[in-house]
Structure 1
């Protein structure tokens, strides 16, 4: 039975959050909207484009809210995400941030390009340039950005010379349009100290600036320089190299980002809007309770969830298997089925575990939004 069928009768009923079957993915709608507005206002104030990364939320409903607040479009990590989020026809401006290289995937990309008005994709290899060029018409060129490796050797061209060579390859293809560069410093996003993060990003941005200058000198200017993230958005704006920000996790604020000094003042400009609600299922051991949320309820690469409510201040979570977690200290007089709310460790892969968001205002369920692109990893 789907989440909608299970819980639809609870929508707009006072106290209905407490009646949800658990574990359940919760979004605080007001906190979400404040986060979206804050980042949109920041980008506008700094004269930057905003292209939020939909790999974080995989949701058409959230993408709609971001675009309504001023975003130009969205990023998608994979072709499948882009297909899912554009199916309704509402979203027309998409950048796919991972190379699309296989023949079947390129055929799907060409079909998507024919269907929406503003598709772009990244490339980092001349063979991919040739394959993409052969799949689309010169009457409707496909926009491409050169992905630049920031030093983690995941994807991207590995040198200034390689970037120049690839730009020339793109320019030689009438069916492709060179639009600029992508540069995402993922490792640096989670450096907890603002000063240390700024030092690291400043050094990496200097390398990017050299590539931009070389392309300009070669007569191939990068109109778009897309990148950055939630952890570095203020630093990126200050350094003035990017034309648009690919921020993603700011909408939710998971544990990894909440532990970072994002603003340089020790404060946290964004709110936790994404939670998992769970219930006590066993309370037989003094000082410890067991809840119904384990490895299947949270991505585990970002540490453990943070207890936000329903347990004593300072209570700690411990994974206890696929279906269960422990909370200790438990507090006195705990009873079965009490609700514990937890901040997720890493939002992107946690979201991918669920079919739907349960949207709340206070203690009331107000809507249910599907995780539109759940599982669309190819």
Structure 2
């Protein structure tokens, strides 16, 4: 049987460079071992049981899921230690949470309101579930907004029969893509000082945080220097994307493992060509992709509708030809992955596997 080549794939295709992925997973695991911190990668990036298993095999203590539906899908695929990083609030969702807790060895969830604590405690009963206090780092998305609120909520969890208070979550999402490393470090240091006041208040109340979880690909190395977090929720490091390529790197360097293969479908205007990847092929919240290979890397991408994009060749450059393969770096990897059913896994030009996007669309 003739091996399938990357050049034979229908496009657009979500392509995963297996050796680069493996090196990224190994590099982050080695960093965590060296620092003596726990690694709990965030699966909202990849939504894949196969990738989560590889992260666990490399030493991760468990994984994170952004939503309950993701956790259900990955638990069904064999992942047995999960932290859900968004509050699970609606009544039917709390009942699903309780059922999920009975199917895997460890399930944890974050809360930021006493009513939510009571509802989860009632649903779980004596079954038990680990609960973290979600702390607002200043974005006002989720999380308690003061040390006194954190102490009160931790006390409520600890007093609930079926809930196990484990610590706090503190994720500075708005700081992950601050371009200059110095500016990022300054902002993270200020936020770490605030977190220290909350941790001190919890300890003084007899409710010390066993686990302080948070961080991301843009902040993990700085967070480790600051010494407050002891569990890291890094996600995008396994793939990388244009947003992170635009940032000044701190810590280990990670390779571009995720890409979108496209083809040139029209060449009738000199200096610009049309490819078959438009709004439906990638997330657009972070702007346009950049060229990874197949044409001049300085070519500028412009969205041209649902199915089409345009590449504008720089002055003096050569246009790619009709049917040529052009590979793009996704602007934002997480929501781009959610647009595809599968990863095309490659080694060089050889297609070696197709991995399902296990939790695609599981946003509820």
- In the superposition, the TM-score normalised over structure 2's length comes to 0.97
**Partner residue, 1:63:** 52
Given that 1:75 and 1:94 are in contact with CA atoms closer than 8 Å, whether structure 2 keeps it comes out as yes
Shift of 1:333: 6.3
Whether the 8 Å CA contact 2:137–2:171 is kept in 1: the answer is yes
Indicate conservation of the 8 Å contact 2:272/2:319, yes or no. Answer: no
Structure 1 gap segments, 5+ residues each: 1-8
Secondary structure at the counterpart of residue 102 of structure 2? helix
Question: 1:243 corresponds to which residue?
Answer: 230
Does structure 1 retain, via aligned residues, the 8 Å contact 2:313–2:319? Answer: no
Residue matched to 1:3:
none
CA distance in 2, matches of 1:273, 1:110: 36
2:201 maps to 1:214: yes
Tell me the distance in 2 between the aligned counterparts of 1:210 and 1:283: 60
Q: Write the distance in 2 (CA, Å) between the matches of 1:217 and 1:142.
A: 24
- Deviations 1:182-227, CA, capped at 9 Å, x for gaps: 0000010000111100000000011111111111111111001000
* Contact 2:87–2:110 (8 Å) recurs in 1: yes
Could you tell me which runs of 5 or more consecutive residues in structure 2 were left unpaired when the two chains were aligned.
Answer: none
- Map of 1:277 onto structure 2: 261
What is the CA-CA distance between 1:334 and the residue it aligns to? 3.9
Q: Match of 2:16?
A: 27
Alpha-carbon distance in structure 2 between the residues aligned to 1:345 and 1:281: 22
Aligned to 1:271, the other structure's residue is in SS state: coil
What whole-Å deviation, never above 9, does each CA across 1:67-124 have from its counterpart, x for those lacking one? 0100011000000000000103x21110000000111101110000000111000000
2:96 maps to what in 1? 108
Alpha-carbon distance between aligned partners in 2 of 1:333 and 1:227, rounded to the nearest angstrom:
45
When structure 1 is superposed on structure 2, of 326-335 and 155-164 the one drifting more is 326-335
Please state how far the C-alpha of 1:313 moved relative to its aligned partner.
3.2
Using the size of structure 1 for normalisation, the TM-score is: 0.94
2: CA distance, partners of 1:308 / 1:193: 23
Give the structure 2 partner of residue 355 of structure 1: 341
Any runs of at least 4 consecutive aligned residues in structure 1 with deviations exceeding 4 A, and if so which? none
In the alignment, is the contact (CA less than 8 A) between 1:232 and 1:262 conserved in 2? no
What secondary structure sits across from 1:296 in the alignment?
helix
The separation in 2 between residues aligned to 1:202 and 1:225, in whole angstroms, is: 16
Distance in 2 separating the partners of 1:365 and 1:334: 23
Contact 1:97 1:121 in 2 (8 A): yes
Paired residue total: 362
